[in-house]
Amino acid sequence: MLSDDDDSGHSGPNHSPSTHCAVSTAHSIPVPGHITILQPQNPNPKPMCVAREIVLVRKMYFDTYEKELGDGFYPQLTPMVNNSYGYDSTGYDSVNIQFRWSESYPDVWTQIDNSVIYGFDGKYGKELLHSLNEEANITATQISNAGGRIIHPKTIANSSYRLIDTRTRI
């Protein structure tokens, strides 16, 4: 290995011919008189605490007719299969949807992309919540859609969007 004062012209790792390593500090750099060297505003910065987040993706299946022309977007984890009632599953499509959990709101998984989920039919909300919690090893109890509405579990309080009266009363 070459030392800093080696002028042999040989090169080694991170060393080019006739190059010397020099350590410089702000005090040893010549600065013209019209330039002011500013000191850091906070010479002892404290580390920022950032809430831990988990993002998981689920492939979900939905009825394209219902999404576009019917009741809305009600996805499920499993594809619809033909059943004894003669339901045709050819109108089903799939999409990957991301859900985020954060220490800031530890009880809620929040949908963060794709079409806003209106809700879940039957047991599909419970299945999704269990799937997300199991993979992340947490115990959240709710799922909210990309619009911020709680879509699982279904309760009277979160079963519909509510308009907020913002008019001033005299």
- Quote the pLDDT of residue 50: 73
- Quote the pLDDT of residue 1: 43
Domain count, the chain: 1
The verdict on residue 129 lying in a domain is: yes
Between CA 9 and CA 141 the distance in angstroms is 68
The verdict on residue 73 lying in a domain is: yes
The verdict on residue 118 lying in a domain is: yes
Query: pTM for this structure?
Result: 0.62
The verdict on residue 41 lying in a domain is: no
The verdict on residue 32 lying in a domain is: no
- Quote the pLDDT of residue 160: 55
- Mean per-residue pLDDT pooled into runs of 10, the chain (170 residues): 44 42 50 66 69 94 91 90 55 93 95 94 95 97 94 76 55
The verdict on residue 162 lying in a domain is: no
For the chain, the three-class secondary structure string (H helix, E strand, C coil) is CCCCCCCCCCCCCCCCCCCCCCCCCCCCCCCCCCCCCCCCCCCCCCCCCCCCEEEEEEEEEEEHHHHHHCCCCCCECCCCCCCCCCCCHHHEEEEEEEEEEECCEEEEEEECCCCCCCCCCCCHHHHHHHHHHHHHCCCCCEEECCCCCEEECCCCCCCCCCCCCCCCCC
The verdict on residue 125 lying in a domain is: yes
The verdict on residue 12 lying in a domain is: no
What range defines the domain where residue 106 resides? 53-81+91-152
- Quote the pLDDT of residue 91: 74
